[in-house]
């Protein structure tokens, strides 16, 4: 240990010398392939910007949350009048309002559609003798609609979308995630998939829908759908879009659980990477609007004007009427729930990871394979849901309980199914219902004898299997509801097992089990706590909920990362964690820069041909602008070089497209550039260099890059440790970070390198610096012994 710092320097020196060799090192593809992400990573520190988006590998870009201070933007900003600033503020709040309003309306419509379609299905099944055929046929049809839409029109609409939103707010732009087609497919697909009785929820999709709405309202959509409204021009930047999407995600969570505070906290704790106090307030406003819309919708429907829409849909489970009393004695079962929740959650994450890998192999075989997979899962689900209740024995109705028993209708807690009058089938109560109704039934309180242990066990086992195999199919699917179903089953089972030892109602055990499994799999605490608070509408549950969540999160964290982190890793999305790895303190950014291909700089006034060549030969998105041989500022004899700043690829392409070229090599005046460019021109991105056609004559001309250069890029000195650079990069939300030398002197370049998101990811660094991985292993071993 004494010499670790010096030995590291040696290794670093070796690395610089053997750079090429290091880059040639490939990890064994066969070795441990189940632990590798779906994409094979490049072993160098060059940016490998590919990730799984939807079901195919796409090129992904980073977002630019930094304020670009070039001449044009600065001028635009300075010339904004108070009226324009006011317009901006008013519009910001209007958009937050619209996001809430539309999310609320769409959530209401989705609930309405699901309740009516699923209700109609159930009624038909009950009416006809050939119940099973009807049931299976309807489910297959609905699944086909959802899957076909997803496969054909919007592969990115499959799944929950939350990991991609998380990545977007972290600074990773995944293509086609927030388009109009994605939104429409997500809405229709979600209705169909949930109505089909698949083991998935509408919660995750609602978060995605809220974010899509926010993105489209902020005019981030593709150009063809874009409104050219003048006011919206101030929102044409990644920062404002990020804020809007945060509002959208909060609104989505709020709409899913009718939990306004929980929605805000979910966005804060799980989804958003950066947070400002002002944002807290704005998201809160959006969720308040959602709640008002949902409330109005329910009041409207309560008068029976919504067809088969009954009690269902919105309030998942209200246990406000239950008096909760518990004492020190109850700490033991509560702890047990928490521990089991953590272990099961960890196990679920692990197994789901494996299933998703297998599914990705199936998905690679094409659209038909995806469709067949979805239909297969639907068929299996239908068979199980329909036939398993035959395994349960009929229970006599308990006359002391108020509720109707047995029931044959849509909802109701005591389904008659195959039982004689006066008896009910407890498993049918859980399986022959929409998922929302099933949750409500399993949470029902003051009915200690309602469910038999065997029925609960069958239910639990079934939903464990369905929960693992349904999530990855090509339909919009949320993770919340499957986990709630699993968790509530094991919670209620545990409550039954406790018998008279405990004074807590079995329904509350089911609630606690659901909370524990969610914390064990998703690893949230405060937001889950508030969501459950708002869901159950019972504050006296709060202290034990907190305890359960803390325990199961702790246990789960000891096993593996959260399910969202696993999915992010699996998809290869370059998510940047807030906390750097410990070993990053042993590496400097100078060493990172040395491991990268050599830096490409541009001069302040550059030849067109060189700009084109640089753009074509690299895929960098930012280039340092360095002026050579400028006169020394303090009147010294030697000429010096000057770091002018950083210019973005998108801006270079805009200049080339507008052909703003100079015949001689000279610096331009402010008015010259403002005659041709506005800040709005610079907000466009997405043009490709390959589409440009330039004459040979034009290529011999010059471009003055100064007015387009962001003169205030963030920089670090080469001696900065990677750990601290990561903190800077994450906290300030950067896309590019320049490395400046620690030396001052003639002949030294004022910029040594440039770091991007990919360079700062632990996995990439370890690939480029294998000795770090080796040392980590050694340290681990020496500590164990």
For the CB of residue 243, give the shortest distance to its own copies in the complex, in Å. 13
SS3 199: coil
Q: Of 70-78, 153-161, 219-227, 235-243, which part binds its own copies (CB under 8 A)?
A: 70-78
HSE toward the beta carbon, residue 632, CA cutoff 13 A? 8
Q: Does 75 bind its own copies (CB under 8 A)?
A: yes
Q: Out of 38, 144, 280, 347, point to the residue binding its own copies (CB under 8 A).
A: 280
Separation CA 492–CA 723 (nearest Å): 46
- x-marked contacts with its own copies along 662-701 as a string, rule CB under 8 A: --------xx------------------------------
**Interface positions, 475-534, toward its own copies (CB under 8 A):** 525-526, 529-530, 533-534
Q: Which is nearer to its own copies, 71 or 606 (CB)?
A: 71
For the CB of residue 51, give the shortest distance to its own copies in the complex, in Å. 23
Longest dimension (CA), the chain: 105
CB atoms within 10 A of CB 297: 21
SS3 201: strand
Q: Does 16 bind its own copies (CB under 8 A)?
A: no
**Interface positions, 301-360, toward its own copies (CB under 8 A):** 320
Nearest Cα residue to 214 out of 322, 110, 106, 320:
106
Q: Does 228 bind its own copies (CB under 8 A)?
A: no
Q: Out of 112, 122, 288, 486, point to the residue binding its own copies (CB under 8 A).
A: 288
Distance of CA 438 to the CA centre of its chain: 27
**Interface positions, 560-579, toward its own copies (CB under 8 A):** 578-579
Q: 602-603 and 622-630 as β-strands: parallel, antiparallel, unpaired? A: parallel
Q: Out of 291, 298, 439, 516, point to the residue binding its own copies (CB under 8 A).
A: 291
Q: Which is nearer to its own copies, 399 or 633 (CB)?
A: 633
SS3 550: helix
**Interface positions, 388-447, toward its own copies (CB under 8 A):** none
Asked whether 516 and 548 are in contact (CB, 8 A), the reply is: yes
Q: How far apart are the first and last CA of the chain?
A: 16
In this structure, what DSSP letter does residue 432 have?
Answer: S
Residue with tokens 């304020």: 67
Separation CA 613–CA 543 (nearest Å): 64
**Interface positions, 144-163, toward its own copies (CB under 8 A):** none
SS3 405: coil
Q: How many residues bind its own copies (CB under 8 A)?
A: 97
For residues 703-724, one letter each, b for 16 or more C-beta atoms within 10 angstroms of the residue's C-beta and e for the rest, the string is: bbbbbbbbeebebbebebbbbe
Residue with tokens 């309030």: 315
Q: Does 229 bind its own copies (CB under 8 A)?
A: no
For the CB of residue 724, give the shortest distance to its own copies in the complex, in Å. 5
CB atoms within 10 A of CB 483: 27
Q: 50-53 and 56-59 as β-strands: parallel, antiparallel, unpaired? A: antiparallel
Q: Does 742 bind its own copies (CB under 8 A)?
A: yes
Q: Does 716 bind its own copies (CB under 8 A)?
A: yes
For the CB of residue 235, give the shortest distance to its own copies in the complex, in Å. 18
**Interface positions, 751-780, toward its own copies (CB under 8 A):** 780
- x-marked contacts with its own copies along 80-99 as a string, rule CB under 8 A: -xxx----------------
**Interface positions, 596-655, toward its own copies (CB under 8 A):** 630, 632-634, 636, 638-645
Separation CA 462–CA 393 (nearest Å): 17
- x-marked contacts with its own copies along 239-268 as a string, rule CB under 8 A: ---------------------xx--xx---
Reported residue count of the chain is 785
**Interface positions, 532-551, toward its own copies (CB under 8 A):** 533-534, 537, 539, 542-543, 546-547, 550
Q: Does 277 bind its own copies (CB under 8 A)?
A: yes
Q: Of 72-80, 367-375, 436-444, 688-696, which part binds its own copies (CB under 8 A)?
A: 72-80
């Amino acid at each position: 240990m004494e010499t670790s710092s010096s030995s590291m320097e040696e290794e670093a020196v070796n690395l610089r010398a053997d750079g090429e060799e290091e880059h040639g090192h490939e990890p064994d593809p066969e070795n441990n392939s189940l632990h590798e992400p779906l994409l094979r990573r490049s072993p160098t520190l060059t940016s490998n910007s590919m990730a799984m988006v939807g079901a195919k590998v796409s090129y992904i870009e980073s977002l630019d949350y930094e304020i670009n201070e070039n001449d044009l933007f600065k001028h635009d900003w300075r010339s904004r009048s108070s009226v324009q600033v006011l317009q901006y503020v008013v519009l910001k709040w209007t958009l937050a309002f619209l996001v809430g309003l539309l999310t609320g309306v769409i959530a209401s419509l989705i609930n309405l559609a699901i309740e009516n379609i699923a209700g109609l299905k159930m009624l038909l099944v009950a009416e006809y003798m050939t119940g099973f055929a009807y049931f299976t046929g309807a489910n297959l049809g609905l699944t086909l609609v959802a899957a076909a839409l997803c496969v054909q029109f919007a592969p990115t609409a499959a799944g929950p979308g939350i990991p991609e939103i998380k990545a977007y707010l972290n600074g990773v732009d995944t293509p086609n995630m927030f388009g109009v087609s994605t939104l429409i497919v997500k809405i229709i697909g979600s209705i169909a998939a949930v109505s089909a009785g698949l083991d998935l929820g509408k919660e995750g999709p609602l978060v995605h829908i809220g974010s899509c709405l926010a993105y489209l309202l902020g005019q981030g959509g593709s150009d063809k759908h874009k409104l050219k409204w003048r006011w919206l021009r101030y929102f044409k930047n990644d920062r404002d879009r990020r804020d809007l999407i945060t509002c959208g995600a909060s609104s989505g969570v709020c709409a899913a659980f009718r939990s306004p505070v929980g929605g805000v906290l979910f966005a804060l704790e799980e989804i958003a990477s950066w947070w400002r106090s002002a944002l807290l307030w704005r998201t809160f406003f959006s969720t308040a609007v959602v709640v008002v819309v949902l409330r109005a919708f329910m009041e409207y429907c309560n008068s029976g004007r919504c067809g088969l829409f009954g009690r269902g849909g919105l309030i998942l489970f209200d246990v406000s009427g239950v008096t909760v009393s518990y004492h020190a004695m109850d700490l033991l079962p509560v702890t047990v729930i928490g521990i089991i929740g953590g272990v099961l959650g960890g196990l679920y994450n692990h197994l789901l990871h494996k299933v998703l890998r297998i599914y990705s192999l199936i998905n690679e075989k094409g659209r038909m394979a995806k469709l067949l997979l979805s239909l297969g899962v639907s068929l299996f689900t239908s068979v199980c849901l329909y036939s398993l209740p035959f395994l349960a024995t009929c229970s006599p109705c308990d006359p002391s309980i108020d509720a109707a028993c047995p029931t044959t209708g849509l909802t109701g807690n005591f389904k008659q199914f195959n039982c004689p009058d006066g008896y009910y089938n407890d498993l049918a109560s859980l399986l022959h219902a929409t998922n929302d109704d099933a949750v409500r039934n399993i949470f029902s309180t003051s009915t200690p004898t309602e469910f038999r242990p065997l029925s609960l066990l069958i239910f639990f086992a079934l939903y464990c299997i369905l929960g693992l195999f349904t999530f990855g199919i090509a339909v919009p699917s949320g993770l919340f509801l499957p986990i709630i179903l699993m968790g509530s089953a094991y919670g209620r089972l545990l409550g039954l097992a406790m018998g008279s030892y405990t004074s807590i109602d079995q329904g509350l055990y089911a609630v606690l089990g659901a909370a524990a499994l969610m914390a064990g799999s998703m690893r949230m605490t405060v937001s889950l706590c508030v969501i459950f608070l708002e869901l159950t509408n019972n504050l006296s549950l709060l202290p034990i909920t907190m305890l359960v969540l803390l325990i199961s999160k702790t246990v789960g964290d000891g096993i593996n990362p959260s399910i969202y982190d696993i999915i992010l890793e699996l998809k290869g999305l370059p998510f940047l964690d807030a906390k750097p790895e410990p070993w990053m303190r042993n590496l400097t950014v100078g060493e990172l820069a040395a491991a990268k291909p050599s830096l490409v700089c541009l001069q302040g006034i550059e030849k067109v041909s060189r700009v084109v060549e640089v753009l074509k030969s690299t895929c960098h998105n930012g280039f340092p602008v360095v002026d050579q041989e400028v006169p020394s500022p303090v009147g010294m004899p030697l000429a010096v070089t000057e770091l002018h700043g950083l210019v973005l690829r998108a801006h270079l392409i805009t200049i080339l497209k507008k052909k703003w070229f100079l015949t001689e090599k000279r610096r331009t005046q402010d008015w010259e550039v403002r005659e041709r460019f506005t800040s709005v021109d610079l907000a466009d991105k997405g043009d490709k260099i390959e589409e440009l056609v330039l004459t040979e004559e034009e290529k011999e001309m010059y471009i003055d890059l100064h007015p387009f250069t962001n003169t205030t890029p963030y920089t670090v000195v080469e001696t900065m440790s990677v750990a601290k650079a990561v903190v800077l990069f994450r906290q300030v939300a950067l896309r590019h970070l320049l490395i400046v030398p620690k030396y001052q002197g003639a002949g030294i370049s004022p910029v040594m390198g440039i770091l991007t998101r990919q360079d700062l990811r632990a996995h990439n660094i370890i690939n480029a610096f294998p000795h770090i991985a080796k040392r980590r292993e050694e340290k681990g071993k020496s500590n164990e012994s």
